Structure 1
């Protein structure tokens, strides 16, 4: 196989594998749904509050997102990227690259700081955020540090491999990228999550026993239920599953335990058990490993041997930002289908469509979730179905099983 044809063939094979995995493993259809209608279950006051919140929040959050994309693109796709590398005047490329990566990340964080702060103020005004400004700044610093470490590792690895194997660097890099995604997904619960929250085992009692019994009935091995101290940052209600194998954990927010009814908490936990039962984290990791391998091959096709030039580090970051932005709609589409399956699992496990609908309503009101986002926001940012879509599933499931749920708004 020629050096020129090999990356094209590898790219096509990995892309085909990625498409096959997504198409064959994503639950595209679970149940026929009625048309979602917020007016059936949300009062005019609740709808108005949600609209006012989003009207106040979205200009700032959208501006921050646009800046976070435009800044690295403007630098990376212009001569400015190389000039910034030269300004560093560091003789060792393996010192210059980390400094440049960290500096560009810091620059983006500083540029988006004002609009991020204005968005944060809106969440405070509506009672959604409870964290101090000191904790908010600390979270931003930790996030910048973690992202810098990840991007530095990627940049150093790619450039080092390209320097060693000018033509075939992409082959070991693709394998390394896939292994990196696998490792990060496995280690994330024990290395990253504790940087933002403290986790404690749920205290022994009737509620914990009920959760463990629910897991046993579902055939999902759960050693423990962890409680995150989310209330130091937010009033939002949530739970999640992360990791796989020995690092898999079921986590509930302390706000959920404190502010939701036992029946609603049970349904949320059943939803998370659905993720565990279907190995959704592992499924997402598999897609991520193939995506990482494809991204490396694509870099080879775009940059070739120029990947060995550390002066193109800013261009590399711009290409990474471009790729993740373009991939977001597909990732969110798959995520919404996976989340819908977990909702369906929750309904099957609890056989409680009435409380399911009331739970989705309560979560949406407390979290001030968007009820009818614009089409582009839905495709670009929505990793979960909208609350009316989730309520429609609960109502459809209840009707199909002889337990119809009437509208919550009379």
Structure 2
């Protein structure tokens, strides 16, 4: 089996699993308990919290542990809209967002003035359009750091600088795909969300990072865990595994990315002259989005699966939707290109042998589809 659907979820690293098992066996106590075991567990929780913040260069921010980015996005977006509606109604969001952002904002469509920031053909938000849409009524801007379909990296630092002139605006960044892949400056971001399983951690652990704890309105009420912001017994083993996974992902990141860029270019070069295949522009080395024009992406995914190669169509959270992918639409692709698209996503552990097998598999499927395909 060759797994190339890492944007959906990664295989937990051996180090993260080891940490998870060790904590589960030796510090299984409730971090809210006042006995010695509980206090020891609480100290380990705080150490993991500090390590994650430092790895992201956000040592002065605050971190609330959650079940993942979807919960984190819901907590901060729902809470911020409810809190800020008295000051304005305009919410700006990129056209590239994950359903856990878009669906939350659309839930409030009768209360807010939701506007989408235009996208360049390269899959990056148009900063001029952002500036044009900003006004005194704007209360919230949400932009993902790294797109989950084509891997385009957004100008987070530049957006943060622009928003410094709009004191009413809260800046949220979904960094789910970026963490562990690219180093970005988040110092002017008000809220950052992430999931451990995207960077070789354990499923069920995530974080909401904010510059001001007072703005968080909890969705879950109960025993007052996580400073009264997210009640429920803390998943300490997965959290410790997350901290370990993040540290290891960030080690020698430049060298890892250079290696993946060579693999990425190898695939692109091989298929560059295939006139019935459309390859989206190179962005992050972890992503290749290509289309078998005239076919359905699901057919290609299933055909590759039969060869033991696992890829996806769009994001796993939207793969069963019949709607055309919003990212590929936003950058100007035609319907047949979008319908025939697949997403290949590498991991830091992807090997050249796996890439060679991928190329062979894609060639096989391309020939099998034959007359179904047509020129771009």
Relative to its length, the structure with more helix (as a share) is 1
- Global fold match (TM > 0.5): no
Q: TM-score by structure 2 length?
A: 0.24
Looking at CA atoms only, which structure, 1 or 2, has the larger radius of gyration?
1
Relative to its length, the structure with more strand (as a share) is 2
